[in-house]
Each structure stands twice: as C-alpha cells, then as structure tokens.
Amino acid sequence: MALISFLSEAQTKKELTKEQYKVIEDSFKNSGKESTKIFYQTVDYKSWVHLLYGDYYREKRGIGLCTFEDPQLERSIDQLIDHVMNIQVKELNPKKLSKRFILVKDLKDDSYLSITEPIIVGNYSFMLFKYQYSESLRIQKKNQNGDWEYECSIPLYVVFID
C-alpha cells in the first residue's frame, strides 16, 4: 500500500519523475523509427478514463486488447481513475529524453503525438497516446530488470478519412 501511495504522490509533482521518463523512453524502444515527434508538454486530458468503466469497452475477460490473465492488471485499471484525476500539464525536459524525441511546440504540425504523463500503478504504467485522428491507452508492465515492456493497449477512438 505504501508503494501505491508514493507513486500517486509522484504524479502530483510539477516535473516528471525519472521513472516516468523511463516509461516514455521504453514506450518507443521497439518502434523502429529513428525519431518521434511529441508535443513539448504532457496533456491534462482526463475525460477518456470514463470510457474504461462502461460496458462498451469492458468485459469479464478484459478491456480493449487487454486480458485480465494477471489480476493485478484489472486492479490497476480499477485504481486508474483516482490517479488520472491528479495528472497535470508538465513540460518535457529534452535533457531527460534521448535524442530520438523531437519536441514540437507548433500546433499547426499535424504529425506529432500528445501524451499524458505516465501513470504508474504497481507494476503497470498507463499513458494516453493522442494523435490528430486517434487515441489509445498504452499499458506497459515493469519486468524484473526494471524495464517497461508493452503489455497491451486500449483503442479509445479512431477517425477514418478517405
């Protein structure tokens, strides 16, 4: 219980923690891209979390592309709403990110990704990926080496354009 309390407290700080930067880095380590454009600050976007608790997305076996084989994942998702309410806009520090990340400030650039600050609940991390025409929740699990590995994702919406 003390661990979860500590992690929740870390999310109310004005800067991202070292572990939150690690979650961001590990989210892209297998992308195959040389560079990734992300908005220069995290987004304070919270309304998506309510989609996780309705019947439309959630089933007994899981939610989105995530299955509840590990009961800790389901418990972490159940606790997520409390943590999401504490997220804030935080400027990303380019010195704490690898050179692969290009921080974008120009809102006219359509090809960038906006993210929420990573939320860590137990051994799981949650980060909203928001593109111009889609949103999804990326979930990673911390392995024994302390690295964050992709676990699953929950598509929240996609707009198809022809």
Q: What is the pLDDT of residues 7-60, one digit of tens each?
A: 443 455 689 999 999 999 999 988 878 899 999 999 887 778 877 776 666 778
CA-wise closest residue to 82 among 120, 29, 32, 37: 120
Report how many domains make up the chain.
1
User: Which class for 20: exposed (0-12), middle (13-18), buried (19 or more C-beta within 10 A)?
Assistant: buried
Provide the token pair at 21: 């930067």
DSSP 95: G
Task: Tell me the average pLDDT across 96-124.
Answer: 90
Three-state secondary structure call for residue 36: strand
For 154, phi then psi, to 5°, come to -125, 105
Whole-angstrom CA distances from 89 to 14, 39, 56, 140 are 8, 11, 29, 21
* Backbone region of residue 146 per phi and psi (left: phi > 0; alpha: psi in -120 to 50; beta: other values): left
- Angle between helix 2-10 and 71-84 (nearest 10): 40
Residue 128 clears pLDDT 80, i.e. is over it? yes
Residue 151 clears pLDDT 80, i.e. is over it? yes
Residue 129 pLDDT level (bands cut at 50, 70, 90): very high
Give the residue numbers spanning the domain of 106: 2-158
